[in-house]
Amino acid sequence: MNRIAVVGGGLMGAGITQSAAEAGKKVTLVEIDEQRGEQRLQTIKKQLNKKVTKERITQAEADEVFGKVNLEVDLDSIRNVQLVIEAVPEIMDVKKNVFKEIDDKAPKDALMASNTSGLSIASIGAATQRPEQVIGFHYFYPVPIMKLVEVTPSIMTSSKTVKDMMQFALEIGKQPVKCNDYPGFLVNRLLIPMVNEAIFCVMEGAKPEDVDEAMKLGANHRMGPITLADFVGLDVLLATMEGLCEGFSDSKYRPCPLLKKMVEAGNYGVKSGRGFYQYDKNGQKVEPVHN
């Protein structure tokens, strides 16, 4: 699959586009308006220029990669692609509507993949007339650097679709891991409840930096769970926990009350400048670190 489309040009969509272009794929990036799309193209160009500055690639190689990306604002542009990767917000109704449009526009033999981090692939596929060609393909941020891709078929996904997407992951330099179609897949199902439990520790009186240091020293984590929560975004973390709790109907996935209060207060972490720590405009911790 050498002709692909990425629908949605947020941070994940831009990273997915860059990663595919770097692997030699021709990529159509579809955004809702040209201004936003141009901003995402500049993001990609900036990342490629960083690689040039660090002498990881030449300017000619950066230009070649960038030349493989084409910006479009109309889904009619996907009529000749072999694969469509959806990277729109993590809201089921939004994803279903996008997949209905993709199903209508994309070639009948094209595969359709969702970058969802844990929503039901079966439900997304049911919005189309070809659920056997729908699969979960979850990248991790930052996409050009992180190697893992969670490949998640639904009960309707064909074995050929799974095989083709596992192969595609290898072609773009990623390591695919097959997951079952249950909330959170593998990584988020394990990681997010751990972070949620760390927040319970803070709610019960532990200092955020102590929780972080304990997990870095005792579990060899590169980043402590409280810092990770701030980087993920406390609003995203809360939505993921609520999805796990609802999906499994199990109270062990209940979001920590402190997490809810932080989100209600607008303290989302790095992106808002304040979470369990405080941050400057460059995302660096500042003093005092606590609220």
Q: Catalytic site residue 150?
A: yes
User: Of 19, 114, 115, 117, which is the active-site residue?
Assistant: 117
User: Of 154, 188, 196, 267, which is the active-site residue?
Assistant: 188
Q: Catalytic site residue 138?
A: yes
CA-based torsion, 70, 75, 80, 84: positive or negative: positive
User: Of 138, 154, 196, 267, which is the active-site residue?
Assistant: 138
CA-based torsion, 215, 285, 265, 13: positive or negative: negative
Is 55 exposed, middle or buried (CB count within 10 Å of its CB: 0-12, 13-18, 19+)?
Answer: exposed
User: Of 86, 114, 150, 196, which is the active-site residue?
Assistant: 150
Q: Which residues are catalytic?
A: 117, 138, 150, 188
